[in-house]
Amino acid sequence: MPKPQHPFMGASLNGMARLFIECGKYGKAELYLQQERAHLEQTLQPLHPALAHNLNDYALLYIAQGKYNQVEPFLRQSLHILEQSGNLRHPFTAYSLDTLGRISYLNREYQSAEQFFQRAHNILEQSLGCEHPDVLSTTNKLADVYVEQSKLSLAEELYKDVLANRKRIFRSEHPSIAQTYHSLGHLLESRGRVYYEKSVEFYKSALIIREEVLGPEHPAIAQTLYRLADIYYRRWKKFEDAESLFQRAISIYEKAQLLDHPDLAQILSTFASLLLVLNRPAEAKENSEHAKTIRAKQANK
């Protein structure tokens, strides 16, 4: 590893941290972020944009781990640095706004999420161009908000545009394409029973890519497994298929040591409901209590 004073040290450490976040190796990601932070503080002025970017990456790490209550202070500090340094139109500002949009979305504050994503999108489009991958990423997340706001036609239009551009820019098995497939699956699921079959097709397409590129134990795979399990359980009453999908999703979170993740609580709660239908009350109670414990921990953080 290069010495701390090496001019490319910060960028190298940041790249490694982001790689490990994407791979679901969160402990290693945090170590690299800590090293990057120490290096930046030694070599840069206190209001340098790179310090703001490092704070945003900490926020992304905590979002991936389900530590939503720890995110906002990092983002506020990041935006403070960018404001004080006169960089409010810098792409790093857009990335922090995008992350604020993500945490607002996860907290079901959809109006705030929409505003943050719109602001991020405007900055990125002006600085990077309308077809840049970062612009497409923010557009996809904005469309996710529109789905939750029942603006389904608008969301579909954005998804189709994002998917077309991503297919043109990336190879067919790129994770960003899987993200849009997953989003389209959720959109169609929201439209009702006529669309469930097509929704499942999109979820399965997302699953294939994610398993191939990220590996079978990545937390993103658990998200898609849960959506499939929910359709098999609630919509199609295919209880055995649903159970195996729920169990695999739970196993992924447990193996990744994401034992207090809010998404795991949601999966456990829905799985408990299925177990009641299957007349297995003891197992249902165990999973339900586990979900309640996770939610209590989140509420107290």
Give the DSSP letter string of 229-260. HHIIIIIT--HHHHHHHHHHHHHHHHHTT-TT
Q: What is the pLDDT of residue 5?
A: 52
pLDDT of residue 2: 42
The answer to whether the beta carbons of residues 39 and 10 sit under 8 Å apart is yes
Distance between CA atoms of residues 53 and 11, nearest Å? 11
Place of tokens 């109006």: 111
- Confidence (pLDDT) at 9: 82
The 3-state DSSP class for residue 170 equals coil
Q: Residue 61 in contact with residue 295, Cβ under 8 Å?
A: no
Q: What is the pLDDT of residue 166?
A: 96
Residue 96 CB neighbours (<10 A) = 27
Per-residue tokens: 246: 């729920």
Instruction: Report whether 110 contacts 149 (CB < 8 A).
Output: yes
SS3 of residue 68 by DSSP? helix
**What pLDDT is recorded for position 10?**
80
CA distance readout (Å), 212 to 19, 20, 105, 168, 216: 16, 17, 28, 20, 8
CB 202 within 8 A of CB 192: no
pLDDT attached to residue 116: 97
Instruction: Provide the angle, in degrees to the nearest 10, between the axes of the packed helices 239-255 and 219-230.
Output: 160
List the pLDDT tens digit at each of the 301 positions of the chain: 444 455 578 888 999 999 999 989 999 999 999 999 999 999 999 899 999 999 999 999 999 999 999 999 999 999 999 999 998 889 999 999 999 999 999 999 999 999 999 999 999 999 999 999 999 999 999 999 999 999 999 999 999 999 999 999 998 889 999 999 999 999 999 999 899 999 999 999 999 999 999 999 999 999 999 999 999 999 999 999 999 999 999 999 999 999 999 999 999 999 999 999 999 999 999 999 999 999 998 887 6
- Under 8 Å between Cβ of 241 and 264: no
The 8-class DSSP code of residue 146 comes to: H
Could you give the 3-state DSSP secondary structure of residue 13?
helix
CA distance 4 to 2: 6
Residue 171 pLDDT: 80
* DSSP state string for 98-136: HHHHHHHHHTT-HHHHHHHHHHHHHHHHHHH-TTSHHHH
Helix H or strand E segment including 11: helix 9-23
